[in-house]
Amino acid sequence: MSFVPRENVEKAVREAIEGSPKRRFKQSVDLTVVLKDVDLKSPQGRIREIVFLPHPPRKHVKVCVVADGDMALKAKEVADRVLGREDLQAMMGNRKAAKKVAEFCDWVLVKTDLMPLAGRTLAPALGPRGKVPVPVPPNADIVAFVNRYRSAVMLRVKDQPQVMCRVGTEDMDVNEIVENIYKVLSTLENKLPNPRNNIARVIVKTTMGPPVEVLF
């Protein structure tokens, strides 16, 4: 459990949603955690962690699968896009095609024996967008994998001392959003050497709404 008071997190979430202008689309609820006294070049500062939220946001997360054989057949039942070995080979040297995949897919799950090929073709396009190919064992239940990654977010520190991710949508129950925030905060605190000192600010906002700071 995070050291940030739950009632303060709940208050900030309510203020962020209630104070947000209504739009013609479903707005996300986003979390920003600003860090301090963290060396971004140190192992502690190079945070790159996948977090599975207890309550998936009510926005479709596009999961793509790179596989062949039986895994590819099963993936077609649930994935948003399935690519085979031939598809990757056709993309070799075609940056535009790889870029389209990287822009379309939120997550790319790759059968382990296809990881080297996916690394050469897709990774250069995924990396700059904060995405990574995720290896999947050959005997894994790909349907379960896909469903699990629909609730996943990536915590990543880039060139600024902060982490940003989606933790919900404006139509979700506030308590569900709060629990998602706590999952992110707890994960982040476990990666930091001194969480109470290293976390400077926690901010909640909707896509188009004003930021609301969580007091602690």
Cβ 71 vs Cβ 145: under 8 Å: no
46-67 pLDDT per residue, tens: 899 999 999 999 889 999 999 9
Q: What is this structure's pTM? A: 0.90
pLDDT tens-digit readout, 6-30: 999 999 999 999 999 888 899 999 9
CA angle 157/8/159 to nearest 5° reads 10
Q: What percent of the chain has pLDDT over 90?
A: 86
- The fold adopted by the segment(s) 63-149 is Rossmann fold (3.40.50)
Task: State the average pLDDT over residues 68-91.
Answer: 96
Q: Where are the domains of the chain?
A: 6-58+152-214, 63-149
Does the pLDDT value for residue 158 go beyond 90?
no
Contact 211, 32 (CB under 8 A): yes
Paired with 29 in beta bridges are: 168, 206
Q: Which two tokens stand for residue 62?
A: 């596009």
Residues 194-199: contacts with CB under 8 Å, at least 24 apart: 194/37, 195/3, 196/3, 197/36, 197/37, 198/35, 198/36, 198/37, 198/38, 199/4, 199/33, 199/34, 199/35, 199/36
Average pLDDT, integer, range 128-144: 94
Question: Which top CATH class is 6-58+152-214?
Answer: alpha beta
